A and B are shown apart, each in its own frame.
Chain A
Amino acid sequence: MSGGAKLSEKELDAMDKAFKVAFIVGLILIFVVAILVTHNATTKPLTGWQVASVGIIAVILLVAAAVVYSQFPYSVLGKPAEQR
């Protein structure tokens, strides 16, 4: 996933904001799903599907972030730079 500044700064900014909203929604969803699937059973060992149902949301967010942020210029110390 090589970065490149093909999109304008305005477009990148809009993508950044859209992803941040998606992230917050996903984070809330993680808490809601975790509460629902565990039924607040704090002392029972977690099962595979309980963890998978929460973990899949994190994976989807990571993939989406990789797609969005690979469009941004490669930066070092916050400034666009050549990849070494």
Chain B
Amino acid sequence: MLFGLYAAGIGFHWGPKPLYVLGVLIGGLFFGTGLALSGYFPGSIWMALGEGRRDAVYAVLGAILGAASWTALYQTPAGQWLVKTLNFGSLIIGATHPSGKEYLIPWNGLTPLDLFGIAVVYAIGMFLLAYFLPRYKGGARSCIRANISKRRTPVEVKMHEETARFLTEGGLPYSENSIAKKLNEYYAVGSNVVRWFMVLAGAIIALTVVAEMFMHQIFGESTTDSWIAGHLFMPSFKYSQVVFKTIGWEPYSDIGTLMGAFFSAVFLTRRFTAFRNIIPPSWAERFGANTAKRLLGAFGGAYLMLFGARMADGCASGHILSGDLEMALSGLLFTAAVFASILITAHFVYSKRA
């Protein structure tokens, strides 16, 4: 849709992030490691806070400290080396994005219509990935394939039940005929990505990203942590000054993310946990039910994640959602680094039992 509108001559606020190979690669590796440890994305920390999850409070603190660490490193020779070495500027597949401008310059001989054609092939590739990538470890198929067959395997049934149990653990009571039961025990956990409600949720996210681009904004979550760190501890640091000048609606987006999850947890899913002490089952299986360990994991994981996100100049929203949607090369490199480090960390950290 994005490239179709572009080919039709409709102007957009293009904002692919610069491809500085070392910073984006190393930042992506830190990001994925922190993500695997904490179990949170920068945006889902705010959602978890909206659901009243205690470990999210520690994750917020770790995230702000991680962002502050990058702010401190940025103005040192090491920080500048990370963002300046192998810096190829803002590139998407088939075009260059001039610094400070909002338009694209297609590579030699290409037209906007050619870029639309490339985008169609790219989208087909993404759908094929979603079709073949298994949903669970040891699982044989993706959500799309499970949904097409309309039959669940024993592994899928077990995983769905475990997920529903964790989502509702420590939450509020609800009745058998409530919308909360349907949402928690069917809609949220099933292999139903191609059902109308999941397609609708995906479409709303996609339209939000495109609408934000129309309104000259970036769909991002982690810049807020640098913005908070800058205001709280380091207003005169170079990186804080950059963030203060370029910040858009991101802090309000994060408040909106929190309020959306909060609304859902109180009115729809009844998952509000009132900051009770809840340890995620996958964490408890590996590290036991020690609260301090879990809070340290949330804090430390979020610290690494935000340090990496700020080093790479974006997180899952800025690089993976917005960047990959624009076919940005920096977004694709970041995505590859994040997936690699998630898999490696998960293999070494969660394969053992407590």
A interface with B by C-beta (< 8 Å)? 1-3, 19-20, 23, 27, 30, 34, 42-43, 45-46, 48, 51, 54-55, 58, 61-62, 65-66, 68-70, 72-80, 83-84
B174 lies within 8 A of A19 (CB): no
A27-B259, A65-B274, A66-B52 are known contacts. Are A46 and B181 too (CB-CB below 8 A)? no
A3-B276, A45-B247, A69-B274 are known contacts. Are A54 and B173 too (CB-CB below 8 A)? no
B251 lies within 8 A of A46 (CB): yes
Contact of A3 among B181, B184, B274, B289 (CB under 8 A): B274
Chain A positions within 8 Å of B270 at CB level: 78
Asked whether any CB of chain A lies closer than 8 Å to the CB of B89, the reply is no
Contact of A72 among B173, B247, B275, B279 (CB under 8 A): B173
Chain B stretch 88-132: residues in CB contact (< 8 A) with chain A = none
B interface with A by C-beta (< 8 Å)? 49-50, 52, 164-165, 168-175, 178, 180-181, 184-185, 215-217, 231, 244-249, 251-252, 255, 258-259, 262-263, 266-267, 270, 272, 274-277, 279, 289
Contact of B52 among A2, A62, A84 (CB under 8 A): A62
Contact of A58 among B169, B215, B262 (CB under 8 A): B262
A1-B276, A19-B266, A46-B247 are known contacts. Are A65 and B52 too (CB-CB below 8 A)? yes
A45 lies within 8 A of B231 (CB): no
Residue in A closest to B181 when the chains form the complex, CB atoms: A78
A27 lies within 8 A of B263 (CB): yes
A1-B274, A2-B276 are known contacts. Are A45 and B255 too (CB-CB below 8 A)? no
When chains A and B are docked, how far (Å) is the Cα of A54 from the Cα of B252? 8
When chains A and B are docked, how far (Å) is the Cα of A2 from the Cα of B291? 14
Chain A positions within 8 Å of B170 at CB level: 3, 74-76, 83
B184 lies within 8 A of A69 (CB): no
A76 lies within 8 A of B274 (CB): no
When chains A and B are docked, how far (Å) is the Cα of A23 from the Cα of B266? 9
Chain A positions within 8 Å of B217 at CB level: 42
Residue in B closest to A73 when the chains form the complex, CB atoms: B173
Chain B positions within 8 Å of A23 at CB level: 262-263, 266-267
A30-B255, A62-B49 are known contacts. Are A83 and B276 too (CB-CB below 8 A)? yes
State how many angstroms separate the Cβ of A64 from the closest Cβ of chain B: 11
When chains A and B are docked, how far (Å) is the Cα of A46 from the Cα of B164? 38
Residue in A closest to B172 when the chains form the complex, CB atoms: A72
When chains A and B are docked, how far (Å) is the Cα of A83 from the Cα of B215? 47
Residue in B closest to A70 when the chains form the complex, CB atoms: B274
A51-B255, A54-B252, A84-B289 are known contacts. Are A66 and B173 too (CB-CB below 8 A)? no
B165 lies within 8 A of A51 (CB): no
Chain B positions within 8 Å of A80 at CB level: 173
A58 lies within 8 A of B181 (CB): no
Chain B positions within 8 Å of A76 at CB level: 165, 168-171
B172 lies within 8 A of A46 (CB): no
State how many angstroms separate the Cβ of B343 from the closest Cβ of chain A: 29
Give me 12 A-to-B residue pairs in the complex whose CB atoms sit less than 8 angstroms apart, sorted by A's number.
A1-B275, A2-B276, A20-B267, A23-B262, A23-B266, A42-B216, A46-B252, A69-B274, A72-B173, A73-B173, A75-B172, A78-B181
When chains A and B are docked, how far (Å) is the Cα of A76 from the Cα of B165? 6
Chain A positions within 8 Å of B246 at CB level: 45
Residue of A2, A43, A45, A68 with most partner-chain B CB within 10 A: A45
B255 lies within 8 A of A78 (CB): no
Chain A positions within 8 Å of B276 at CB level: 1-3, 70, 74, 83
When chains A and B are docked, how far (Å) is the Cα of A51 from the Cα of B227? 11
B274 lies within 8 A of A78 (CB): no
When chains A and B are docked, how far (Å) is the Cα of A80 from the Cα of B267? 18
A75 lies within 8 A of B274 (CB): no
